[in-house]
Structure 1
């Protein structure tokens, strides 16, 4: 530090402070973005539970009443469920309540495994649902079997929702630790900048000012100090 010019003695602490500030801002932005992405996944996983319950109701409604509206509602619920499951597995855009949202692919291995198991179950379940015939003699028995599978699907996505929430909380905790560490470093740099400014600028300028005042009073001995 002694061999540096005055300009660099002032600029280096200032650049470090600015760099730390920029880092903190970027971390906060990244943390907010990650929280928004996690909230979308929690919302979609929660909706999968609701859709599973809705499909079970429509299967029984169609079998018991032969009302085609239940069949149409079932088709809509199945399409939304499948699109959402695909988005959770691979990422991509998804319509949620009339709004397009971006679903990011999760890297959590436990959630990835759970979603893969859900997809395998869904492929078999979808064939059984499409094969339901309200006029057949075993329609109610088939509806009850499908209902049991859909209850398992509800439990699967209840677990997935909790896992997404837990993973989000862990990410937030990590990000906050980094932000706190940066805050400590930021305070240290401020103190360091004040120390450098005081040592190399304020003290020399103050000494010159005092010498000038002594000379103005006719005391020439101060100029040699």
Structure 2
């Protein structure tokens, strides 16, 4: 039988417990850092969505009030917004992003999609109207 009352045995047991505790702290820290990285990526995508709606609005205003009728920057921002919205709604395996984790978030993203569809339709109508006006001016 092994004696636990010697000082060296007690020190060895305490040392082993300390090592196990340190390893569990390290593993927990690594796990939490990975979770934070995924959360940060989602926050960046959501923040970029806000910025893109502002950029789209600014481009529409600029195109409307200037002689430059180039839609390249507007189209790029629209495409990027659509991509980001799809990533938030459905996830993206390549980047380790899961789809909406709760029904409440999924419902909110559905509302955002409805608002986006209306806004996107207005963008398309603006482009068609502007192109029609330009064609009328040339005639």
TM over 0.5, yes or no?
yes
- How far apart in 2 are the matches of 1:93 and 1:127? 29
Q: Equivalents in 2 of 1:64, 1:38: separation in Å? A: 40
1:84 lines up with 2:100 in the alignment? no
| Number of the residue aligned with 2:64 | 63
For structure 2, which runs of at least 5 residues remain unmatched after alignment?
Answer: 134-139
Contact kept? 1:58, 1:74, Cα under 8 Å: yes
Greater RCO (Cα-Cα under 8 Å, separation 6 or more):
1
Give a deviation string over 1:25-82, Cα, whole Å, max 9, x none: 111111111112111111111111110011111122223335232x111110001111
Q: How many residues align?
A: 126
Return the alpha-carbon distance in structure 2 between the equivalents of residues 27 and 13 of structure 1.
21
**C-alpha displacement of 1:112:** 2.7
**Cα RMSD over matched residues?**
2.9
Query: Which of 2, 5, 13 in structure 2 is aligned with 1:5?
Result: 2
Tell me what 2:37 maps to. Answer: 36
Please give the alpha-carbon distance, in whole angstroms, between the structure 1 residues aligned to 2:69 and 2:3.
84
Q: Which has the greater radius of gyration?
A: 1
Per-residue Cα deviation, 1:114-157 (whole angstroms, up to 9, x for no partner): 212111221232233122221557xxxxxxxxxxxxxxxxxxxx
| 2:114 is the counterpart of 1:120 | yes
SS in 1 for 2:130: coil
- Matching residue of 2:101: 107
Give the TM-score taking structure 2 as reference length.
0.71
> Hey, which of these two has a bigger chunk of strand by percent?
1
| TM-score normalised by L of structure 1 | 0.47
Kindly indicate whether the alpha-carbon contact (under 8 Å) linking 1:91 and 1:103 is maintained by their aligned counterparts in 2.
yes
Instruction: Give the unaligned 5+ runs of structure 1.
Output: 95-100, 138-225
Q: Distance in 1 between matches of 2:130 and 2:100?
A: 39
Could you tell me how far apart the structure 2 residues matched to 1:6 and 1:106 are?
56
